[in-house]
Structure 1
Amino acid sequence: MAPPSPAPAGSRERLDRGARITVALLFGAWLIDYVDRLVINLALPSIGKEFDLSRAEQGLAVSAFFLAYAACQIPGGMLADRFGARRVTCWALLIWSAFTALTGFAGSFAILLVVRFLFGAAEGIFPGASMKAISERTTPGQRMSANGVVQSANAVAAVVAPLAAAPLITHFGWRSAFFTVAGAGVFVYAAVRLWLPEPRVPDGGGRAPAGGGGARAVLRSPAMWGFAAMFFGYDIIVWGLNTWVPSYLNEERGVSLSSAGALAVVPAAAATASVIIGGRLADRLQGQQRRIVVPSMSVASVALVLMATASTTALFILWMTVAVAAASLSYMPVYAVPLRSLPPELAGAGAGLITFGGQCAGVIAPTAMGVLADRLGFGAAFGFLVLGAVLAGVVAVVTPQDSASFRRSLRLPDSGGTVAAVRPVESEKS
């Protein structure tokens, strides 16, 4: 009997109950993850005044987090492949919540840098584990749609963080915001530990290369590093804007911290919708990231230039919204081909490598923009972000566009465009 034909490109599979619970819990985990790291952007003006910091030094406080966060992406994915996505996700939630609280106790700039570095290490092991957890609990045809919903938590956090943290910082000081979000992280840890469903039990069949050999094939793949470079370009935009827009609005436009938080709702809401739409488009197109990334980053480039030269606050927010919405369409397509193609045994390493590329941008963008803002002004700093859009668009053209070509690039067995069946996964509960 001939093997069943793959689902049509335009079809979408419905998530079952376990997948829906997984999406809901990991949405909450990503929401806290992102709020935790965004709070410092809102607190930077207050921290800068207390410790007498230049903009470049304030940017360094953000980059210290990303230095460790980036370095731990690949090890975090491999830990998830070795010990299970549930365990690593729970470890990460608990440890990073502790370091979020410790940020509020920092008594000097040097201590702040150390705590933020360790906080970044704790959060760095989470993304690969999260994406592996979704890969184990979904089918390839629904994977990017599920990830798109989960990753939209990042954009939602960009709304929640200023609305929740700005009043705390204004009325109780910047330290209170870190204590509050650390407490919320503990609650999310408990929910994930108790209620994350078991992985799907596949129907049997072959097993793709796993363990050290399989992970080495992923990490040595030029194609995988291409996807990492694409995400680097995307995150230049994201972390540049997230770090410096609150300070820019406050210091250059005279907008209060609370009002700046309210203004951030508009671009964040646009980004939320774009991330979800981008995930669905990636599933519908079965990859083919250039068809999404190239046009979206072209629009983002133009909008970023107009934003950097905007004469009024209203125009700045308008063009920022267009830039963020356009760029966010590219988020899930960057991951689409690898996560549709890699077996779940290698999903942690693959997701960790791509995320590593993006978080390297978090190391570079905040400090580079801080230096540009000090020396040339915020117009030049925001203009720097166009480089990220150009890089993402160029790399989207030269990376594999579908599962078959991607698997050939890694010398994985061809499975007719679908992921090979996976061995049953034992319980990960700790």
Structure 2
Amino acid sequence: MNVAPPVAPSTVGPSHAEPSKGYEWKAVTLMALGMGLVGIDRFLIVPLMPVLMRDLHLDYQDLGHITGALALAWGLSALLTGNLSDRIGFKRVIVPAMVGFSLLAGLGGLATGVGSLIAIRALMGAAEGAFTPASIIATMDASPPGRHGRNVGIQQMMPALLGLGLTPILVTQLLKVMDWPWIFLLVAVPGLIVALLAQRVLRRPSPAEIAKHTVTHDTGRHSWYEVFRYRNVPLGIICMLCWLACQIVIAALFPNYLVDYLHLDMQQMGFVLSSLGFGGAIGALVLPALSDRIGRKPVMLLSAAGVFLSLWCFLRTGAAPIPLFACLMVAMGCLYSLITLTVGPVAAEAVPGQLMSTASGMIIGIGEVFGGGVAPAFAGYLAKHFGIEHAVTMPLWTIGIGAIAVMALKETAPARLRRKKGEDIAGLQRHT
């Protein structure tokens, strides 16, 4: 194993200084805004679908292809670019990716048919897939190890808050004053501004500085496949498959379950589903921050239990919108906690510094491609052949499998490790 040579003092510039609290908040804010814009760009098309179907002559199969192209490109890009970020630095990936997905989001307004829209959305997904793991590592780099969970949670709550929570409201209001192509063009502007600020603010840390954010403190160079030697990565992939399968099935089947099986009207269904964005944002903000204090595994097990019990209650609640809203809000909050911890601290803290983005990218990419692709197809088969009331129980199975994988994870929270080390020393002293 080659160890990276120490950086000579004369070559260390301001960008390699220990990050200050001011830098922490600037970097975390910019990465959170970046993820929020990713959420907006990804979910912007959902409330526009009826208009796009009318103007571009699309059918339901076209909508499935458009959605699938973005998810597939996102997953493959995260899978392939995570190691690139480790090799050339997260800043060199983040800024071009932000410029790319912002411009491509704007180009969506120039689409003339299904082919051009699929191509634009696929390229946008590739840029967003490159941005995501690199931005998570940039957030962790700006944060003291004791605030990894909180700050990655702040970042990861933004897609839920802006993408799922506020975008449908914003888009439907903008449609009253402008045509849909201008809405696509409008959302490109904030991304370009944030990219410019990120270019000015983000630092380029040394390998030794990156390694401080892991439990290995390993500054050596590693091949990408070595990431699988650290058990949190293969276990994290299993977890992410389960979490995304649960999330995608909820998004895909629960609207029809509410309308077709529980016979809610469209307004009641919309009210219940609004819990997805706001619940996800609250969960991503609160529970990962708690993991900084009591450990990653306890919070993940608590979150898995919360998802399971909430969905179990949801599926046993009749056509009562307020209880359904409450159950789904708790479930989505706990689910976003699981996703945040899996793609962030649990993966990145467990591997050498030069594999942090690789680990996160592997988990995001494989989870997106397979968890986001296979699960809804299987759930759709169940709904078609056995009834939607049976298909919507699938998230309970996936959460149960994921909880088993969580039990085998290696704890990485610095506070929990320090307490365990202190307990071990105290126990040894008592025996001697």
Please give the range of the TM-score, normalised by the shorter of the 2 chains. 0.7 to 0.9
| From 88, 99, 109, the counterpart of 1:94 | 99
Structure whose residues are more often helix by fraction: 2
Alpha-carbon distance between aligned partners in 1 of 2:211 and 2:240, rounded to the nearest angstrom? 34
Instruction: Answer whether contact 2:297 2:409 (CA < 8 A) is retained.
Output: no
- Confirm or deny that 1:226 pairs with 2:235: yes
Alpha-carbon distance between aligned partners in 2 of 1:188 and 1:325, rounded to the nearest angstrom? 27
Aligned to 2:430: none
- Confirm or deny that 1:350 pairs with 2:359: yes
| From 302, 309, 326, the counterpart of 1:299 | 309
Aligned to 1:179: 185
- Confirm or deny that 1:395 pairs with 2:400: no
- Confirm or deny that 1:319 pairs with 2:324: no
Q: How many residues are paired up? A: 389
Deviation at 1:171, TM superposition (A): 5.3
- Structure 2, unmatched stretches of 5+, are 1-18, 423-432
Alpha-carbon distance between aligned partners in 2 of 1:203 and 1:274, rounded to the nearest angstrom? 27
Instruction: Answer whether contact 1:32 1:185 (CA < 8 A) is retained.
Output: yes
**Residues 54 and 279 of structure 1, relative CA distance in 2, 3 Å threshold:** same
Q: Counterpart amino acid of 2:354? A: E
- Confirm or deny that 1:154 pairs with 2:154: no
Encode CA deviations 1:199-236: one digit per residue, 9 max, x unaligned: 488499996254343x3210455541210221221122
Deviation at 1:61, TM superposition (A): 1.9
Alpha-carbon distance between aligned partners in 1 of 2:191 and 2:367, rounded to the nearest angstrom? 23
Alpha-carbon distance between aligned partners in 1 of 2:64 and 2:227, rounded to the nearest angstrom? 32
Aligned to 1:337: 346
- Which stretch shifts more, 67-76 or 39-48? 39-48
Deviation at 1:197, TM superposition (A): 4.5
Alpha-carbon distance between aligned partners in 2 of 1:377 and 1:170, rounded to the nearest angstrom? 38
Deviation at 1:55, TM superposition (A): 4.2
- Which stretch shifts more, 378-387 or 204-213? 204-213
Instruction: Answer whether contact 1:103 1:116 (CA < 8 A) is retained.
Output: yes
Deviation at 1:313, TM superposition (A): 4.4
Superposition pairs for residues 7-156 of structure 1, below 5 Å? 16-50=21-55, 55-156=60-161
Alpha-carbon distance between aligned partners in 2 of 1:352 and 1:386, rounded to the nearest angstrom? 26
Query: Considering only CA atoms, is the larger Rg found in Structure 1 or Structure 2?
Result: 2
Q: Counterpart amino acid of 1:328? A: Y
Identity of counterpart residues, as a percentage? 20
Alpha-carbon distance between aligned partners in 2 of 1:89 and 1:244, rounded to the nearest angstrom? 34
Q: Which secondary structure does the structure 1 equivalent of 2:112 belong to?
A: coil
TM-score, with normalisation over the residues of structure 2?
Answer: 0.77
Query: Quick one: higher RCO (CA 8 Å, sep 6+), 1 or 2?
Result: 1
Alpha-carbon distance between aligned partners in 2 of 1:242 and 1:260, rounded to the nearest angstrom? 12
Instruction: Answer whether contact 1:25 1:192 (CA < 8 A) is retained.
Output: yes
Encode CA deviations 1:168-209: one digit per residue, 9 max, x unaligned: 346545444322212222122122122234548849999625
**Residues 91 and 35 of structure 1, relative CA distance in 2, 3 Å threshold:** same
Instruction: Answer whether contact 2:217 2:353 (CA < 8 A) is retained.
Output: no
Alpha-carbon distance between aligned partners in 2 of 1:19 and 1:384, rounded to the nearest angstrom? 40
| From 262, 266, 286, the counterpart of 1:255 | 266
Deviation at 1:126, TM superposition (A): 0.9
Q: Counterpart amino acid of 2:160? A: A
Deviation at 1:316, TM superposition (A): 4.0
Instruction: Answer whether contact 1:41 1:244 (CA < 8 A) is retained.
Output: no
- Which stretch shifts more, 169-178 or 365-374? 365-374
- Confirm or deny that 1:194 pairs with 2:208: no
**Residues 56 and 339 of structure 1, relative CA distance in 2, 3 Å threshold:** same
Q: Counterpart amino acid of 1:127? A: T
Deviation at 1:376, TM superposition (A): 7.0
Q: Which secondary structure does the structure 2 equivalent of 1:81 belong to?
A: helix
Deviation at 1:262, TM superposition (A): 6.8
- Structure 1, unmatched stretches of 5+, are 1-13, 408-415, 418-430
Q: Which secondary structure does the structure 1 equivalent of 2:44 belong to?
A: helix
Aligned to 1:164: 170
Deviation at 1:295, TM superposition (A): 1.7
Alpha-carbon distance between aligned partners in 2 of 1:339 and 1:179, rounded to the nearest angstrom? 35
**Residues 103 and 262 of structure 1, relative CA distance in 2, 3 Å threshold:** farther
